[in-house]
Chain A
Amino acid sequence: MKRYWLFFILALSVTGFAFADPISLKPYQTGDWKSIIKAANGGPLVINFWGVTCPSCVKEMPQWGLFIKNNPSAKVVFIQVDDVSIESIKKMLSKANLDKANNYYVAAPFDERLRYEIDPKWHGETPTTIVIDKNGKASRKTGLVDFQQLQKALIVKP
């Protein structure tokens, strides 16, 4: 019995180590969009779709890192959409100081089927940022973000 407990504690600590991975990167699948929106609890929410092979994204990610640092209460979700290794995604997030951000990666091909529930008219350009205001209204912006404007959009008026 004692050995059993020892094993249990060991197993716990192993999972603990797994959770201690500095970068949490969750797989994004069909159906996840609704739960991501729901998790924001009605507050303004920003979702940034980026890819490690996209030069504009590479340029923008460190700015996102700075934005999160200066706006710690902002609800921002990052979804990496290129078919690349997990290590390369983590490397770029780490470089941009986005280790602790709310990070996802697309596990299956990022095709029209996956995009449909997000926005049926969207063709998957990267980077693309979707802002959902407190009334649930979504606006999609393709290309680099104007962070000053974004900050204004995220201020919750009482």
Chain B
Amino acid sequence: MEVLSLPAQAQMQMDHSSMVSAKPGNACQGAGLECANAATPFFTQDGKLLLAWTASGVVAVAQSSDLGKTFSPAVKIAEHGKSLDAGADARPQIVADKQGNIFLAYAFFKDTSWNAQINTARSTDGAKTFTKPEPLVSDRSSQRFPSVLIKPDGDIFISWIDKRLVSAAKQGGQNRLGGSIAYSFSQDGGKSFQAERFANESSCECCRIGGSLDPKDNPVLAYRAIFPGGVRDQASQVILASGAGPIRKVADDNWKTDACPHHGPSIAVSNAGTYHVAWYTQGSKRSGVFYANSSNQGASYTKPSRVGSESANVSRPYLLALGQQVWLVWKEFDGVQSSVYLKESSDDGKTWATPKILSSTAGYSDHPLLLAQGNNVFLSWLTRHDGYQLINIGQKQ
């Protein structure tokens, strides 16, 4: 474990004049936030912002006591060079319990056949030092796209895309694509995990998994499943302590494809237990980014409604629910600028206000993410030209 030797602190301040200017198209070489391709935020109980990012093959963490304006020197967790999974839908995961114990997960490619491995690391001293990264499971096939949730009692839930079934089928001579949704719980802060289980044996192999806790603190997942006939449509599924609930189709988009969309869904479960889901599809029945909700644990969903305008390049939807309020952000690109749009609902997704632009940038940008600290809702958006942005976008009424 070492502190990055680059002038991280200076560059990470939101003072734009001190930002390193990376010209568009030029690959940024450093391991600092200014060269990161993805950054994941988490608010600790005492109000500090933890930020985990991947940049130039390095996984790093820093924290901020002033809502992202300045950061502590970055701590390097791991270095994998070009083997780090820095794909469009990959991002490091970071959570902390009420005592401030931190759990982190990320994936890298462990062999020349592009089999991935999920590594986990922990910190018990407030992100000053982390344990040496260790594999989450022992399996020779591929595990990728970790998605981590922490329950109020400190239990950690992790789900991921696991290829051991696909790999076994291939060895048995079957021609099978895709992966499976696997998951596990930890009751000791991520030190050890229960034996992994499968939620769905057939899923897309290259899309992020969306996760949110329901009112009983059970994880609810949204992911791109593979339905019979090679249809890669969205599914939602609740994970109980006793096992995974039924696989529910969110919408009949009928996207029959073998391609890797690198574009997974987002889910937020409200206090009333409503599942809010947003996703991207190129199905024969609809194409673009869509939103739907379910008030019966996914048994049925409302008719999908389009997010953003049909003519625009809309991508990366992300949801957050607090009480009866729902926030939905997404990205649009107009040929020059990428902008984050926001749409809000104050009646659990029944009606929505007119969308508005929260922020724009002309260079590379990460997915827009949402998180809450107490009653305040924040947009977390990493941009190459305009730095890391943490913007207060609303309050719980």
Contacts and interface: CB of A to CB of B under 8 A. Distances in A.
Interface string A122-145: 011111100000000000001110
Nearest to B163: A55
B257 A112 contact: no
A88 B112 CA distance: 8
Contact of A54 (B25, B112, B206): B206
Main secondary structure of the interface of B (DSSP, over half): loop
A49 to B, nearest CB: 10
A113 interface: yes
Contacts of A142: 257, 259, 282
Contacts of A143: 257-259
A69 to B, nearest CB: 23
Contacts of B87: 53, 82-83
A55 B177 contact: yes
Interface string A47-59: 0000111111111
A58 to B, nearest CB: 8
Contacts of B331: 112
B313 A112 contact: yes
A24 interface: no
Interface stretch (B5-13, B91-99, B239-247, B260-268): B260-268
Interface in B53-86: 81-82, 85-86
A56 B260 contact: yes
Contacts of B206: 53-54
Given A55-B205, A142-B282, A125 B262 contact: yes
A59 B259 CA distance: 11
12 contacts: A53-B114, A54-B260, A91-B112, A108-B25, A109-B364, A113-B364, A116-B333, A123-B282, A125-B260, A125-B261, A125-B263, A143-B257
Interface of A: 29-30, 51-59, 82-85, 88, 91, 107-113, 116, 120-121, 123-128, 142-144
Interface of B: 24-27, 37, 81-82, 85-88, 109, 112, 114, 177, 205-206, 257-263, 280, 282, 313, 315, 331, 333, 335, 338, 363-365
